[in-house]
Amino acid sequence: MKLKLVVAIVAAGTLMSQTAIAQEGALVVYNPAGDAGELIIDAFREKYPAISISAINAGVGELFTRMAAEKANPQGDAILCASSEAFLANPDLFEPYDSPELPNFDASVVAADHSFYGCSMPLQAFIINTNLLSEDEYPRSWADLAKPELQGKLVLANPSLSGSAYAQLAQILQLHGWEVAEQVMKNARFTTSSQSVFQDVGRGEIEVGVTGEVNVKTMMDEGYPVVAVYPSDGTGLRFDASAIIAGGPNPDNARLFLDFANSKEAHELIVSTNRRSVRTDVVAPEGLMPTSEVPTFPYDDNLAASTRDENLARFDELFSQ
């Protein structure tokens, strides 16, 4: 009996020490997710006040360049809500990990080796000014953007300058090819800023644009006469994701953080910023179409990444004509 008691005490002490290690010390999080990422980091900080958290806020490109440069001696522990395309292009930067939250994610938004987990879905939609077009005039598909009735009524961001705009071009190409894409280009006015697209439509300067659905929701909330239309031929099922940086300085805390970032609590914080969560048990932001009802297609982000230079070269050639 005494021996069993000693073993139990030793086992309990080991468990407590492991828990203590995982709930104190330091943590460095790379955050390209802006306000949504800051909300998750702040909530984790409140939950684990003994962990000293440093957050590095920057764009996806800058952070992935940084991680690649630090590969021999990683300085970060985790990255939060970065585009899945970036993870697919840099698989050796991340540590596979079986999070207990895995059952709450569809397999399509988790890496095959569990080295990244989906965060939110930056779905693209049409933004339409309801004062300038009647409902029967709304474009309903990517192919509709090529119709002659929309000539001069469409605004897009330049895909050479905007990641989301390149994703829009890649979706048109994957669904319909260059024949449709070229006609869409002829109908459109291009801006240097993706932000200008939804702002111009909201202000009534032009009828139709293509943008992330969160931007349409924000404009609607601010009282602008706009509506979101999801293309009937499918908006690309794109997502961003979170992961543990391989070889980071605080691996226990990194795992603890990823578990929290994957939790329903964290994903409800994501939804509070009008982003759509990838978790199967978290509803879409109020005012957005339920995720299950959004028409999507299996967007090939590997193909989009591998043909990017070729596609943009052709776009620039056509744009200059």
Number of residues that make up the chain = 321
214: pLDDT confidence band, cut at 50, 70 and 90?
Answer: confident
The DSSP bridge partners found for residue 26 are 52
**According to the model, what pLDDT value does residue 147 have?**
97
- How do residues 40-93 score in pLDDT, each as one tens digit? 999 999 999 999 999 999 877 789 889 999 999 999 999 999 888 788 878 899
CB atoms within 10 A of CB 311: 19
pLDDT band at 18 (very low <50, low <70, confident <90, very high): very low
Residue whose pair of structure tokens reads 């409800």 in the numeric block: 268
Residue 5, pLDDT score: 38
What pLDDT was estimated at residue 9? 37
Which is it for strands 154-157 and 124-129: parallel, antiparallel or unpaired? unpaired
- Extended strands (E) in the chain: 25-31, 51-57, 78-83, 117-118, 124-129, 154-157, 188-191, 208-212, 226-229, 235-236, 240-244, 296-297
Q: Nearest 5°: phi and psi at 170? A: -60, -35
Report residue 292's pLDDT band, with 50, 70 and 90 as the boundaries: confident
Residue 208 near residue 139, CB atoms below 8 Å: yes
Which tokens hold the place of 311? 């596609």
Mean pLDDT of 275-279: 91
pLDDT attached to residue 61: 74
How many whole angstroms separate alpha carbon 143 and alpha carbon 292? 23
Residue 15 contacts residue 62 (beta carbons within 8 Å)? no
Residue 2 pLDDT: 40
Q: Say what percent of the chain tops pLDDT 70.
A: 93
Q: How confident is the model at residue 21 (pLDDT cuts 50, 70, 90)?
A: very low
Tell me the C-alpha distance between 209 and 148, whole Å: 16
- The reported pLDDT for the residue numbered 47 is 95
247-264 pLDDT, tens digit per residue, is: 999 999 999 999 999 999
The answer to whether the CB of 68 falls within 8 A of the CB of 79 is no
pLDDT in tens, 119-160: 998 899 999 999 999 999 999 999 999 999 999 999 999 988
Q: Are 217 and 274 in contact (CB under 8 A)?
A: yes
* Three-class secondary structure of residue 31 per DSSP: strand
pLDDT given for residue 88 in this prediction? 84
pLDDT at res. 1:
41
- The one-letter amino acid code at 41 reads I
Residue with tokens 């329903």: 264
> In angstroms, rounded to a whole number, what is the distance separating the alpha carbons of residues 238 and 296?
9
Rounded to two decimals, the pTM is 0.71
The domains of the chain, with CATH numbers, are: 22-121+238-288 (3.40.190.10), 124-236+294-319 (3.40.190.10)
Higher-pLDDT residue of 275, 252: 252
How does residue 7 score in pLDDT terms, banded at 50, 70 and 90? Answer: very low
Mean pLDDT across the stretch 110-125? 94
